[in-house]
Amino acid sequence: MKVETMIALLRARAPWRSVARIGLKELGLPVGMGWDDTVPDLLAPNALNAKQMIDLDGTVLEHLIVGEKSLRIYDVGRQAIDALTATMSKKKASPHPVVTGFPSVLSDAAMKQLGDVPPQFGRYVPSSRGSALVYAGVRSYTRRIELNPNAIKAVLPSMDFDSVIGVVNHRRMTYDAVWLPKSGKYLYVLADYPQDATSDFPAQSHLALERSLTKSMGVQLVPVDLFPAVQGLYDAPDGDVVELGFITDDDSVKHLKARQGKKCLRKDGYHTAGATFVGNALLPFRLAVRWQRKLNSGLIVQPEVLLPGTSRTIYGLNNHLYDCVLRNCLGLRDLELIKSKLSPHI
C-alpha cells in the first residue's frame, strides 16, 4: 500500500484518540493534534523508514479486519474451517471494480458511480494464528449532522433556531472479514459497523456473508447465542464494565454508562449499594466491557465488546443475542483477547 492509502484508510475508519493515534505512535511515527496536524508529517519525503512502511501496512490491514465491527460467531466444526481455508487461500479476488487496487479508499464520485455494492471478496490474509478473508463493498446510510444555526439564519431570517439537524444520505466503503482461526471449531464474521450507523448497517453484511459462506461450505450456518455471555462477563472478575443494562425484581429497568476513564461500573458506589439492597438479585441484559492491552512501547489499547441485549431479551422466553459489537480494537490481538473472554460463556 502507498502511504497515502494507508493514512486514508485509517482516517476514514479508525477512531482517532483511542486507535489511530495509538497505532501510529506505537510505530514511532509523528502524531499531532488531529489528522490535519499529523498528515503533512507522515507524507513528508522519507517520513517512514522501510520497517515503518511494512509495519504500518500490517497495522492498517489488521484494522480493516477487526476495527469497529459487529461480530457473529458460528459453530461449524474444525473440518469445515480447514476445508474453507484451503479453498479460499487459492481464490482470486472478485472482478468487481470495488476491489480493484484492494484495499483502497474510493472517492465519493467513484462510489456514486458504483452505487451500493454487497461485500466482494478482496484478499486472503494469512497470519500466525489463523487467516482472514477480507471483503469490500459500498453502502449508503443516513447520518445526522448538526448544522450551524447562523448559516440557516441567512436563508430563513424570520426563524431563530437553537440547533439545526441535517439528515444526509452518506455513502461509505465497507470492509468485512471472516476470521478462520488455526484451532477451535468456531468461525468469526466481522461486519463493518461505523459508530454513527444503526444496527441494520452491519446486518446487511452479515446476511450477505452468511449466504455466501453457506454456499461455499455447503452447511446451514446458525450463529452462536451470545446472551449467556452477558451474565458471564458481568460475573467475571476482569475488564471494566462501562455499560450495563439490568433489571431487578422491582419494576424499573436500569441502564448505566461510564465515561471514558478507568471506572468500572461493577465497583460504582451507587451500583454496589443498590445491588446489595436487592440481595444481588439482578439480571443483566446489556453489557459493555473494556480491557487494557499494553503494547511494546507501553501505550495501551482498550478493546471493548458490547453485548447489545434489550430488556425484552430478558423478559422473553428463549430469546437470543446473535451479535456483539467490537469497539476500539487495533489489531488481531484484540480480537484474540475478546474471543478468549467470550469463549468460556458460549
- What residues make contact with other proteins under the rule CB under 8 A? 11, 15-18, 20-21, 33-38, 143-146, 148, 195-196, 257, 259-261, 269
CB of 127: closest distance to other proteins in angstroms? 27
Which residue lies nearer to other proteins by CB, 68 or 176? Answer: 68
Least separation, in Å, of the C-beta of 96 and other proteins? 28
Buried/exposed code over 170-195 (b: 16+ C-beta within 10 A; e: otherwise) = ebbbbbbbbbbbeeeebbbbbbbbbe
Distance of CA 24 to the CA centre of its chain: 19
DSSP result, 79-136: HHHHHHHHHHHTPPPPSSGGGTTSS----HHHHHHH--EEEEEEEEEEETTEEEEEEE
Task: Write down the least CB distance from residue 15 to other proteins, Å.
Answer: 5
Closest by CA position to 266, among listed 243, 249, 300: 243
Nearer to other proteins, 94 or 311 (CB): 311
User: 117-127 and 164-181 as β-strands: parallel, antiparallel, unpaired?
Assistant: unpaired
Report the residue number, 38 or 70, with the smaller CB distance to other proteins.
38
Q: Among residues 43 and 145, whose Cβ is nearest to other proteins?
A: 145
Q: How many CB atoms lie within 10 A of CB 128?
A: 7
* Closest to other proteins by CB, 143 or 333: 143
Query: Which one-letter amino acid corresponds to residue 111?
Result: M
Kindly give the pairing relationship between strand 304-307 and strand 283-290. antiparallel
For other proteins, which is the closer residue by CB, 24 or 133? Answer: 24
CB of 168 to other proteins, least distance (A): 11
Supply the minimum distance, in Å, between the C-beta of residue 248 and other proteins: 22
Cell triple for 133: 478473508
Q: Please report how close the Cβ of residue 83 comes to other proteins at its closest, in angstroms.
A: 40
